[in-house]
Structure 1
Amino acid sequence: MTISIKNINKQQVLFHIIGWICFLSLPYLLRGTTPDPPKINPSLPPPNANATMYFTLLSMLNIPFFYLNSQVLIPKIWTKRNNVWLYIIALIVAMTTLFYLNGLGKVLLFGPNATRFPRLGTIFQTLFVLAISTSYRIMADNIHKEEVRKEQENERLKSELSFLRSQISPHFMFNVLNSIVSLSRRKPDMVEPVVIKLSELMRYMLYESEGTKVLLSKEIQYLQSYIDLQMIRFGDDVVVSFQKPQKESNILLEPMLIIPFVENAFKHGIGMILSPEIHIAMEVDDKGLVFSVKNKTNPKPEAKDHASGIGLSNVKRRLTLLYPEQHQLIITQDSHWYDVRLHIEV
C-alpha cells in the first residue's frame, strides 16, 4: 500500500506525526537528571548536552531513511521486482549515505568533539529504525491485502445477490402466466381481474423493491395481493388462511424473500390433491420474524420439470448471504403435509 496524495488518511498522518515526536523526544527523556561530570577542558560543551544533540541529529536523519525503506525500497524493489539482492544492495547504499551524513553533521556541529560519540549507538538506532520500517511496511501490505480481499468478496456477494434477485421476477412471471393460461381455458371471464392484480404485483416488483430492504408491512401487502390473485384463480377449490402479525413492526426485510415459499405451496399444494389447504402465518417476536407455510401434498411423487425448485434454491442462497448465522430454515415433509418454518433475526 504505497502512500499517495489521493489516499492519504488524516488519522495515519496524525499517527506518524505523534510517533516521530515521541521518537525525537527520546534523547531528552532518556538523558535523565544526572549532573555532567567535571569538565577537563572548560572550552568544551557539557558531554550530556553533546550526546543529546547527537542522537537528535541521528533521529532526524533516520526519518527519511524510514520512508525510503518502507515506501520505496520494499514496495518497488523487494516486492514488485522480487529481487532481494538488489534490495540489500540499495539498503547498504542508503545506510552508508546515512552514516556519512551523520558523520558530516557531527563534524559541522561539534568539530573535534565528533570523535567522542560512539559508533555503536549510531548502528543500533539505524538498525532499530530499519526493523520498524520493515515491520510497518509488512503490516500495511497485509492490512491492504485484507481490505482488498474483503472488498472483492463484498462485490462478489453483491453481484450474486443482484443476480439472485433478478431471477425472482422471471420465475414469478413464469408461474403467474401459466396460471393465466390455465384460467383462460376454464374461466375466461376471470382473466381481466387477474391481469389487473398482476399489474399491482408488477408495480411492487419494479418500484417498491428497488432498495436493499423494505418494511415488513410492504412485503405483507405484496404477499396478500399474490394470495388474492391465486384465490381469483382457484376460488373455493382451495382453503387458504393467512395469519398476519398482531402488532405493527418497523422490521426491514430483504424484498421478495418470503414469496417463493408461498409460490411453492400454490404450485405443488393444489393439483391432484383432495381438499387442498394452504396455511400461512407470520409473527414478530423479540428476535425478529417467524414465518411458516404448510400445504397438503400428494402421496405420489409428482414429475418435476427442469425449472422446478429454482425459487426455493434461490431464496435459500439469499438467506445464506444476507442472514448468515441469523436465520433458521426448517423444511419437513410427510405423506400428507409439506411444512416450511423460517425464523429470521432482524
Structure 2
Amino acid sequence: MQSTASFPHRTAFFTDLPAQGVLSQRWAYHSLFWLVLSLYNILYFGFLLNNYTQAIFEYSVKLPFYLILVYGNIYYLIPRFLLTGKYFQYFVFLVLSTLLSVAIIQTLINHLILISYCPVGYHPNVLFDPKPTAKRMFDTFSVLGVTSGLKLTKDWIDNQEKIKELEGQSVKNELEFLKSQIQPHFFFNTLNNLYSLTIKKSDLAPEVVVKLSGLMSYMLYESDSHETTLKKEIEHIQNYLDLESLRFGKRLNLDFEIEGSIEQRKLAPLLLLPFIENAFKHGTSHETGILDLKITLKILKGKLLFVVVNPRFDNSSNRKKHKGLGLKNVQRRLALLYGNNYELNIEPTEKQYVISLFIPLK
C-alpha cells in the first residue's frame, strides 16, 4: 500500500504538542535550544579568543540575526519554496538573506559598537575582511543547517506517523469490511439449509433456528473486536458443525480433532469458518449426498495448525460460478493481519481437497 503526502507546514522544529497548554512548553524547548547553543558558542569562542567578554559581546550581536534567519527560514522559506519544489529560489533567498545578515553583523561589531564598548586594545576589522567574514558566514550557515535539519527531520517523522496512521486505519476499515462480508455470506448459506428443512417439514427446523440464533449473536455482537479467544472460535465452529449435522444426518461423516491447550489463546474472529463452509459447499457428491469431512486443529508452540480435508468430485460444473467469495475473503484478511507470517496451502489431489493453515497465536 503506497501513500504520498507532502511535509506538513508545522510551527515547531523540535516538537509538536497538544493545543491545550502547549505554548509555554513549546517555547521552553526553543528557549533551551538557544540557551545551549549560546553557551556553547560563548564558551568555545571565548576559549579561542582568550576573552570571554568579547565572545559574549559578539554573540549578543549575532543572536538576534540568528533568530530572524532561523525562524524566517523554517516558517517562510522552507514551506514557501523548499517544500514546494522551488529549490533554486530557496537557495537564492537563503544565501542573500544570510549575506545581508552577515554584512549587518560585521557593521555593528566593527564600526558602530566595538569601537566604544569593547575592551581597550581591540582593533575592528575591515568590513569585509575575508577571514572574519568567511568565519561568520560559516557560523551562520551552521546554525541554519542544524535548525533546518531538525525541522525537516521532525516533519518527516510526523509525516511518516501520519502515513502509518492512515494506512492502519485503511487496513482496519478493510478488515471490518471483509469481516462484514462473511456474515451475509454465512447467513445466506445457513438460511438455505433452514429453508430445505422447512420444505421437508423436518422436526429439526426449530433446533436449527436456535443454533442459528446463537451464531448470529456471536457474529453480530461478539466478533466486533479485533481478536477473540480460540475457545470461543471453536465453540462457534462447533455450533456450525451441529447445524450441518442436523441437515446432513447420517450422510455426514465428521472427524473433528483438537490437540493442545486452547486456553488463553487468541486470534482474529471468523477466520477459520470459511474453510469449513467451503468444504460443506464443495465436498458433497451430487449422486450420494455423502460428505466425508476431517477437521484438525493443533496448537504447536504458540502457533495454530488448522487442516480441512474433504472429498473432491468431478460433478461440479456450476461451482466455478460461485467459487471463492469466502476463500478470497479470508485470504485477504490473512494477508492484512499477518503479512508474510502465515502459511496457507490449498492442495487438490485426485480425490481430496486439503487446506492447511499455519498462523501465530497471541
TM-score (norm 2): 0.81
For residue 256 of structure 2, what is the amino acid of its counterpart?
Answer: F
CA distance in 2 between partners of 1:3 and 1:115 (Å): 44
Counterpart of 2:283 in structure 1 is 269
Secondary structure (helix, strand or coil) at the match of 2:203 reads helix
Matched, 1:71 2:75: yes
- After TM superposition, the structure 1 stretch with the greater mean CA deviation from structure 2, 207-216 or 93-102, is 93-102
Matched, 1:92 2:96: yes
Counterpart of 1:337 in structure 2 is 352
CA distance in 2 between partners of 1:269 and 1:3 (Å): 60
Displacement of 1:123: 1.8
The structure 2 residue matched to 1:278, chosen from 293, 309, 318, is: 293
Matched, 1:111 2:116: yes
For residue 337 of structure 1, what is the amino acid of its counterpart?
Answer: Q
Displacement of 1:217: 0.8
Matched, 1:212 2:219: no
Secondary structure (helix, strand or coil) at the match of 1:3 reads coil
Write the deviation string for residues 176-202 of structure 1: whole angstroms up to 9, x where unpaired. 122122222335322221111111100
Counterpart of 2:145 in structure 1 is 131
Counterpart of 2:129 in structure 1 is none
CA distance in 1 between partners of 2:244 and 2:252 (Å): 10
Write the deviation string for residues 286-319 of structure 1: whole angstroms up to 9, x where unpaired. 1321111111221444422533210000000000
Counterpart of 1:312 in structure 2 is 327
CA distance in 1 between partners of 2:27 and 2:252 (Å): 69
Displacement of 1:89: 3.7
CA distance in 1 between partners of 2:224 and 2:253 (Å): 33
Displacement of 1:93: 4.1
CA distance in 1 between partners of 2:308 and 2:101 (Å): 77
The structure 2 residue matched to 1:147, chosen from 124, 149, 161, is: 161
Displacement of 1:253: 1.0
User: Quick check: 1:251–1:288 contact (8 Å CA) kept in 2?
Assistant: no
Q: Report % sequence identity.
A: 30
Secondary structure (helix, strand or coil) at the match of 2:321 reads coil
For residue 85 of structure 1, what is the amino acid of its counterpart?
Answer: Q
User: Quick check: 1:74–1:87 contact (8 Å CA) kept in 2?
Assistant: no
Write the deviation string for residues 265-300 of structure 1: whole angstroms up to 9, x where unpaired. 111112326542111121212132111111122144
Task: Pick closer, same or farther for the CA change 1:248–1:149 going to 2, 3 Å.
Answer: closer
Task: Pick closer, same or farther for the CA change 1:151–1:102 going to 2, 3 Å.
Answer: farther
Displacement of 1:98: 6.2
Displacement of 1:52: 4.3
CA distance in 2 between partners of 1:53 and 1:136 (Å): 27
Counterpart of 1:288 in structure 2 is 303
5 Å matches for 1:9-28? 16-28=30-42
Task: Pick closer, same or farther for the CA change 1:110–1:191 going to 2, 3 Å.
Answer: farther
Displacement of 1:8: 3.0
The structure 2 residue matched to 1:55, chosen from 59, 64, 68, is: 59
Displacement of 1:145: 3.4
Root-mean-square deviation (Å) = 3.1
CA distance in 1 between partners of 2:306 and 2:287 (Å): 24
Secondary structure (helix, strand or coil) at the match of 1:306 reads helix
CA distance in 2 between partners of 1:166 and 1:134 (Å): 47
Counterpart of 2:339 in structure 1 is 324
TM-score (norm 1): 0.84
For residue 234 of structure 1, what is the amino acid of its counterpart?
Answer: F
Secondary structure (helix, strand or coil) at the match of 2:62 reads helix
Task: Pick closer, same or farther for the CA change 1:273–1:328 going to 2, 3 Å.
Answer: farther
Displacement of 1:128: 1.6
For residue 271 of structure 1, what is the amino acid of its counterpart?
Answer: S
CA distance in 1 between partners of 2:250 and 2:28 (Å): 73
User: Quick check: 1:71–1:137 contact (8 Å CA) kept in 2?
Assistant: no
Task: Pick closer, same or farther for the CA change 1:13–1:305 going to 2, 3 Å.
Answer: farther
Write the deviation string for residues 326-345 of structure 1: whole angstroms up to 9, x where unpaired. 21111111121111111111
Displacement of 1:59: 4.1
Counterpart of 1:42 in structure 2 is none
User: Gaps (5+ residues) in structure 1?
Assistant: 37-46
